[in-house]
């Protein structure tokens, strides 16, 4: 899997003012690599994730997945791409409230109409130590448990890339540490490519590469 962002720019209008969020940004992501993007609030981290997931289109520049330029992709192509190739982990877990842990985890495979979704989901929940919570609704679980379920859901269909947005941002230190252990263990075991947006240097330290988003561009951390 390769991901290339070349000279990507994105701005938003706020009344009369134009906010330039990303400015000629470049990024190359290689297969199996775990990259951390560190940035202050409002630096454009979420915009970057939105561009990578196809929820926003760049004003200028191009994004290429495995050499395919995405500029002319329509909504259906992006939807198919997200379904097959992307996995998301959010800061606030964002599990579907009316589905049980098991159903949430099995959902990506169900949407792909792949057989054996439940069995595979059970396997993953067992691995994450959540087998006893399989039939519980998100509202009946703790934050750490919900985030582990969210991680399982993101990895369930073996996506090409995991996009994680502050995966431990809503958790206390101990629980956050546990969740990170689970996340990195799974990512490493599966040689999974991931881009993790975070404030936390501790999270960033565990990644293969660290980039800082500043003034609309990505810089190697520490520069």
Summarize as ranges the residues that interact with another protein (CB under 8 A).
Answer: 46-47, 49-50, 53, 55-56, 75-76, 79-84, 86, 88, 90-92, 94-100, 103, 107-108, 110-113, 137, 153, 165
Q: How far is CA 119 from CA 39, 59, 79, 106, 115, in A?
A: 39, 43, 25, 9, 9
Residue 200's Cβ-count burial label (10 Å; 0-12, 13-18, 19+) is middle
Q: How far is the CB of 78 from another protein (least distance, A)?
A: 8
Instruction: Identify whether the C-beta of residue 178 lies closer than 8 Å to the C-beta of residue 144.
Output: yes
Q: How far is the CB of 98 from another protein (least distance, A)?
A: 4
Looking at 54-200, list the stretches that DSSP marks H as alpha helix, in order from N- to C-terminal side.
Answer: 75-85, 101-111, 117-127, 143-155, 173-189
Shorter beta-carbon distance to another protein: residue 16 or 113: 113
Q: How far is the CB of 184 from another protein (least distance, A)?
A: 22
Shorter beta-carbon distance to another protein: residue 92 or 215: 92
With CA atoms as reference, report the closest residue to 52 among 203, 155, 162, 216: 162
Shorter beta-carbon distance to another protein: residue 15 or 220: 15
| 126 Cβ contact list (under 8 Å, min separation 6) | none
Strands (DSSP E) contained in the chain are 2-14, 17-30, 34-38, 60-65, 68-69, 86-89, 161-165, 193-198, 209-214, 217-220
Q: How far is the CB of 57 from another protein (least distance, A)?
A: 10
Shorter beta-carbon distance to another protein: residue 41 or 223: 41
Shorter beta-carbon distance to another protein: residue 47 or 193: 47
Q: How far is the CB of 100 from another protein (least distance, A)?
A: 8
Q: How far is the CB of 24 from another protein (least distance, A)?
A: 20
Shorter beta-carbon distance to another protein: residue 97 or 220: 97
Instruction: Identify whether the C-beta of residue 97 lies closer than 8 Å to the C-beta of residue 172.
Output: no
Angle at 82 between CA 90 and CA 138, to 5 degrees: 35
Shorter beta-carbon distance to another protein: residue 107 or 196: 107
Q: How far is the CB of 127 from another protein (least distance, A)?
A: 20
């Amino acid at each position: 899997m390769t991901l290339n962002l070349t000279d990507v720019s994105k701005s938003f209008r706020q009344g009369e003012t134009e906010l330039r969020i990303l400015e000629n940004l470049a990024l190359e992501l290689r297969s199996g690599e775990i990259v951390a993007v560190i940035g202050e609030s409002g630096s454009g981290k979420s915009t970057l994730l939105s561009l990578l997931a196809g929820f926003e289109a760049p004003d200028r520049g191009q994004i290429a997945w495995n050499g395919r330029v995405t500029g002319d992709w329509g909504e259906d192509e992006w939807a198919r791409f997200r379904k097959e190739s992307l996995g998301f982990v959010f800061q606030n877990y964002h599990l579907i409230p009316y589905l049980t842990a098991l159903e949430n985890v099995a959902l990506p495979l169900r949407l792909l109409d792949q057989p054996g979704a439940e069995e595979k989901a059970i396997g993953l929940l067992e691995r994450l130590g959540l087998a006893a919570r399989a039939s519980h609704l998100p509202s009946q679980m703790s934050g750490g448990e919900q985030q582990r379920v969210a991680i399982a859901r993101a990895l369930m269909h073996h996506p090409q890339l995991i996009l994680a947005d502050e995966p431990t941002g809503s958790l206390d230190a101990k629980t956050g540490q546990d969740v990170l252990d689970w996340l990195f263990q799974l990512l490493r075991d599966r040689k999974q490519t991931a881009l993790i947006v975070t404030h936390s240097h501790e999270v960033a330290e565990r990644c293969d590469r660290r980039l800082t988003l500043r003034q609309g561009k990505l810089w190697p951390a520490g520069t």
